[in-house]
Amino acid sequence: MLIDRTYRKWTEVFHTGSHFVGGWNQGSRILFLAPNDRGGMEGMVSRIKESRLHEFISIEHLGVVNNGMEDTTSEAAKRWAGVHENYTFKETRGATELIVDMDSTNEYRKYFEETWPPALQKLKEIAEAATSRTITVGATIAAPMEKVWEFWTKPDHIVKWCYASDDWEAPHAENDVRAAGKFKTVMAAKDKSISFDFTGVYTRVKEYEHIEYNTDDGRHVKVEFEELSADAKALAGKPEGEGVKITETFEAEKINPVEMQRSGWQAILDNFKKYTESFNT
């Protein structure tokens, strides 16, 4: 629903060229825009009043954009000030119910009643189509959270584990771990027969909790870090040690078989686990 490339697809129902500028973190300023027939942009000036990952987002509209100019003071803009648009996500047995509720001025009520249903239908189609090509891998690392996060994000460590087999290597890595920050990891066969750059841009980062990014080939990836509870550690057979569960969910590319991609990403994650647990600081 919220990443740029798919947001543009389902919001086309409202206006061709609809997109946003800004972020979805709580407190973030965000513009909702679409081109007008004069070559400028029209839309809303807003902020994210509340954001709970995978649960709830509340957008507070503050004013309007008229032909590329923000307006929060005119009478027309003031009619939108304080209007809220809320998204509630409820997951049950692998299915997600999405509830949208919003305030509206009377002049736009009928418009939204007619456009939201087909927009949500479009979103449903996009999400369900993507699900069939979504892959999840995971591992539990016997190390403290601070160490796991450092080894996952620091280039000096990335080059030591970011490859799937012993005949590959990662000779170079760059990593700017923040929203809108870019990353690059060079992956290469040791015999120099082939190499490629794994690159992308971070869309959401919360230290010790989660990382989300879009790869430069247009796929979305989410990495979640969960510090295990005492009960979970006991079940894992390590009641006295640290433990961090890493879960990676990513959109599969269309060239290689899904199972090949799953095993490759899992192998890299297993390599991270081996490197992190064996590294003595």
Same domain (yes/no): 47, 72? yes
The residue out of 131, 165, 185 marking a domain boundary is: 131
Same domain (yes/no): 41, 162? no
Same domain (yes/no): 191, 264? yes
Same domain (yes/no): 148, 191? yes
Same domain (yes/no): 107, 150? no
The predicted model gives 80-105 an average pLDDT of 91
pLDDT, tens only, 4-19: 889 999 999 999 999 9
Q: How far apart are CA 230 and CA 270, in angstroms?
A: 23
Same domain (yes/no): 172, 265? yes
pLDDT band for position 107 (cuts 50, 70, 90): confident
The predicted model gives 150-157 an average pLDDT of 98
SS3 sequence of the chain: CCCHHHHHHHHHHCCCCCEEEECCCCCCEEEEEEECCCCCEEEEEEEEEEEECCCEEEEEEEEEEECCEEECCCHHHHCCCCCEEEEEEEEECCEEEEEEEECCCHHHHHHHHHHHHHHHHHHHHHHHHHHCCEEEEEEEECCCHHHHHHHHHCHHHHHHHCCCCCCEEEEEEEECCCCCCEEEEEEEECCCCCEEEEEEEEEEEECCCEEEEEECCCCEEEEEEEECCHHHHHHCCCCCCCCEEEEEEEECCCCCCHHHHHHHHHHHHHHHHHHHHHCCC
Q: What is the CATH number of the domain that holds 183?
A: 3.30.530.20
Same domain (yes/no): 81, 18? yes
For 34, other C-beta atoms within 10 Å of its C-beta total: 17
Q: What pLDDT does residue 236 have?
A: 43
Same domain (yes/no): 121, 200? no
- pLDDT above 70 (res 164): yes
The rounded mean pLDDT for the chain is: 90
Same domain (yes/no): 179, 217? yes
pLDDT, tens only, 212-256: 999 998 899 999 999 986 544 444 444 445 699 999 999 888 888
Q: What pLDDT does residue 232 have?
A: 41
The residue out of 115, 131, 147 marking a domain boundary is: 131
Q: What pLDDT does residue 132 have?
A: 62
Q: Which residues contact 125 (CB under 8 A, 6 or more apart)?
A: none
pLDDT, tens only, 181-197: 999 999 999 999 999 99
The residue out of 131, 157, 178 marking a domain boundary is: 131
Same domain (yes/no): 182, 242? yes
List the domain range (segments joined by +) for residue 209.
Answer: 134-278
Same domain (yes/no): 117, 207? no
Q: What is the number of domains present in the chain? A: 2
Same domain (yes/no): 50, 154? no
The predicted model gives 113-120 an average pLDDT of 96
Q: What pLDDT does residue 129 have?
A: 74
Q: What pLDDT does residue 234 have?
A: 46
